Amino acid sequence: MIDELLADAEAKMDQAVAHTGGEFATVRTGRANPAILHRVMVDYYGTQTPLQQLAGFSVPDAHMLVVSPYDRSSITAIEKAIRSSDLGLNPSNDGTIIRLAFPTLTEERRKELIRLVRNLAEEGRIAIRNVRRHTKDDLESLEGDVSEDDIRRAEKQLQDLTDEHVKRLDELLLRKEEELLEV
């Protein structure tokens, strides 16, 4: 029973780290990265549709991203969605594809993005701690069925899991900050 609770907690913590890593990928750096467009929703015939379902992406060089719509009639809707997103990109289209030029980031924008990434990391840490708290409550509810020593050992293992996952999250944060500070 205890092993199942710990395995479940580890799986949920892994998901929290993976989710936070995915959120980091959507934060714009000075380099072209198609992952930043994953949150962009396009009004496609009255339905909010994720951009990746409407177009393919290619990266011809480090500062250019090309969006190739599958349906040419959606090009203006895609362009409008990118322009209205909070990415700070100015799309230009030639009737068949949309080009996104990634200007170099200003020092102020870099600091803003680092604050955003740190907030995302804190949300990830909170998710990990919530998993720990719920699992700890579940372990304490086993008292009476399982010896107190087993519960204490399990709580120590749970804390070790939590520390390990928070450390992984901090490493991801450090890498993302370095990427943002890179000129």
114: its two tokens: 């680092």
Burial letters 9-46, b for 16+ CB under 10 A, else e: bbebbeebbeebbebbeebbbbbbbbebbeebebebee
Please indicate, yes or no, whether residues 56 and 87 belong to a single structural domain of this protein. Answer: yes
For residue 10, give the CATH number of its domain: 1.10.132.20
Q: Tell me which residue range forms the domain holding 172.
A: 2-25+106-181
For residue 96, give the CATH number of its domain: 3.30.1360.40
Which single residue is written with the structure tokens 């020593």?
Answer: 149
Q: How far apart, in whole angstroms, are the C-alpha atoms of residue 151 and residue 149?
A: 5
pLDDT at 172 over 90: yes
C-beta of residue 163 within 8 angstroms of C-beta of residue 132: no
Residues 6+ apart with CB under 8 A from 101: 63, 64, 89, 90, 92
Q: Which of 4, 47, 30 is nearest to 138 (CA)?
A: 4
- Indicate the pLDDT class of residue 175, thresholds 50, 70 and 90: very high
Query: How many independent structural domains does the chain possess?
Result: 2
Q: Which of 178, 169, 174 is nearest to 126 (CA)?
A: 169
pLDDT value of residue 183: 62
- Indicate the pLDDT class of residue 70, thresholds 50, 70 and 90: very high
Please indicate, yes or no, whether residues 111 and 172 belong to a single structural domain of this protein. Answer: yes
The count of other CB atoms within 10 Å of the CB of residue 170 is 13
Please indicate, yes or no, whether residues 86 and 51 belong to a single structural domain of this protein. Answer: yes
- pLDDT tens column, 94-117: 888 999 887 777 888 888 889 989
Q: Which of 101, 128, 156 is the last residue of a domain?
A: 101
Please indicate, yes or no, whether residues 121 and 177 belong to a single structural domain of this protein. Answer: yes
pLDDT value of residue 17: 95
- Strand-pair partners of 69: 55
Q: How far apart, in whole angstroms, are the C-alpha atoms of residue 73 and residue 167?
A: 47
